[in-house]
């Protein structure tokens, strides 16, 4: 049987380390704070924001919730970000996506100070990641690396296939893996012979957003599989369930796999809080 990599347990452990770091910062006179900006009333975004604020509270991180109407206009959002950038009491800024139509998300994210960009999406942080210098790393790729570290000691020479080339997961996790001296193949919807490429991999990171794309015969015995996908599906009887990009029930021959839910997801929020603490620590220098 493949071992399950427990993202929930690892997220709790990271949360405890984050809380300890917060206590140290507070003893030094710094109160870490994360500003979360929500535009409009998207139901899913509302849930995500509540979860993030709740996790901040557990770790002792201050949360500053800023809400704007869906029709606020792009300039109002940019002005708010400018205000948060200039506020020394704010160490991290997160703009919840998606944004309403008519607002350029790229322009908005670029407006966040790189030092407060706890999502790691700003071009400056992307550039720092690509050159291996110190920047804030996107939360999901950072969480993936921590999950992999729990089952892999040495990445040098490993053949790793990343399925999906998004700026949020695929590209940044590939760069993190390259820093560890792995040999990385990034694949996408136009990749030919994807099952053959996957079968040769020591590690598969599936981040395509395609339910059950990765089947058992795609995975060689002893491989490690990280499933980033999360899709809500409705069964024939009308019941809904969350599934990943991998057919986990077919992966008993793998060395280790992440479950969905309970794998990558919890680590993403835990890494967001960790990034907020990192930003607060760097603000002291």
From 42, 79, 82, 96, active-site residue:
96
Q: Are 7 and 265 in contact (CB under 8 A)?
A: yes
Separation in Å, CA 260 to CA 54, 157, 184, 230, 249: 22, 28, 24, 7, 11
52 an active-site residue? yes
Q: Among residues 117, 119, 227, 245, which one is catalytic? A: 119
**Residue in 55, 204, 188 with CA at minimum distance from that of residue 118:** 55
Burial grade of 116 (CB within 10 A; 0-12, 13-18, 19 or more): buried
| Selected catalytic residue, list 6, 28, 31, 52 | 52
Would residue 116 show up in a list of annotated catalytic residues for this protein?
Answer: no
Between the CA atoms of 214, 51, 169 and 278, what dihedral angle is there, to the nearest 10 degrees? -140
Asked if 96 is an active-site residue, the reply is yes
Using CA atoms, how far apart are residues 138 and 35, in angstroms rounded to an integer? Answer: 17
**What is the pairing mode between strands 3-4 and 33-39?**
unpaired
Other CB atoms within 10 Å distance of the CB of residue 220 = 16
- Active-site amino acid positions: 52, 96, 119
């Amino acid at each position: 049987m493949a071992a399950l990599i427990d993202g929930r347990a690892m997220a709790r452990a990271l949360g405890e380390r984050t809380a300890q770091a917060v206590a140290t910062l507070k003893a030094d006179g710094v109160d870490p704070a994360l500003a979360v900006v929500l535009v409009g009333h998207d139901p899913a975004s509302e849930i995500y924001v509540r979860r993030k604020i709740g996790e901040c509270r557990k770790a002792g991180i201050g949360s500053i919730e800023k809400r704007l109407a869906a029709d606020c206009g792009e300039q109002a959002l940019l002005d708010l970000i400018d205000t948060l950038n200039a506020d020394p009491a704010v160490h991290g800024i997160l703009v919840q996506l998606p944004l309403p139509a008519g607002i350029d998300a790229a322009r908005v994210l670029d407006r966040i100070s790189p030092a407060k960009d706890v999502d790691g999406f700003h071009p400056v942080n992307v550039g720092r990641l690509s050159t291996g210098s110190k920047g804030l790393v996107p939360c999901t790729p950072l969480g993936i690396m921590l999950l992999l570290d729990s089952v892999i000691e040495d990445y040098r020479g490993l053949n790793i296939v990343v399925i999906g080339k998004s700026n949020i997961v695929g590209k940044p996790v590939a760069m993190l893996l390259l820093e560890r001296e792995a040999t990385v193949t990034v694949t996408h919807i136009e990749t030919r012979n994807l099952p053959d490429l996957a079968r040769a991999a020591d590690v598969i990171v599936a981040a395509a957003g395609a339910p059950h794309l990765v089947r058992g015969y795609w995975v060689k015995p002893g491989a490690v599989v990280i499933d980033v996908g999360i899709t809500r599906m409705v069964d024939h009887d009308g019941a809904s369930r969350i599934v990943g990009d991998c057919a986990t029930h077919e992966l008993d021959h793998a060395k280790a796999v992440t479950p969905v839910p309970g794998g990558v997801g919890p680590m993403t929020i835990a890494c967001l809080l960790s990034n907020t603490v990192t930003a607060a620590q760097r603000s002291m220098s």
